[in-house]
Amino acid sequence: QVQLVESGGGLVQAGGSLRLSCAASGSIFSILAMGWYRQAPGKQRALVAAVTAGGRTNYADSVKGRFTISRDNAKNTVYLYLQMNSLKPEDTAVYYCTAGPITIFYGHAAPQEGSWGRGTQVTVSS
């Protein structure tokens, strides 16, 4: 079992920046991919960015060139980051950190698979 703790998020004006962080502990050896998904009101949860254990990255088209995902491996913890620049009102959503199967990388993560953080709200005002 992998435990995920998210931090960051908040309210920012359009054009601003935010950085999300996620700390993964527990059975981190089992992690094949980690990622950030987001869910806006009335919409399905969708991939924002993901990274494999080997360092491959994948981004949603809507965030390419604006968001950067990165990860740091410590002894017993893996840290996942999402640097979000040039934020737009349409980026407003609850952002979730997830870790586990490779399906995360391809945007097919299911809520019942892998591990999920509690989510952090990102609100971009116009």
Write the pLDDT tens digit of every residue in 25-54: 999 999 999 999 999 999 999 999 999 999
| Average pLDDT of the chain, as a whole number | 95
| CA distances to 10, 41, 95, 113 from 123, in Å | 6, 12, 10, 27
In which band, very low, low, confident or very high, does the pLDDT at 79 lie, cut at 50, 70 and 90?
A: very high
Q: What pLDDT is stored for residue 117 in this prediction?
A: 96
Q: What pLDDT is stored for residue 113 in this prediction?
A: 87
Dihedral of the alpha carbons of 97, 110, 2, 62, in degrees to the nearest 10: -20
Calpha distance 125→44 (Å, rounded): 21
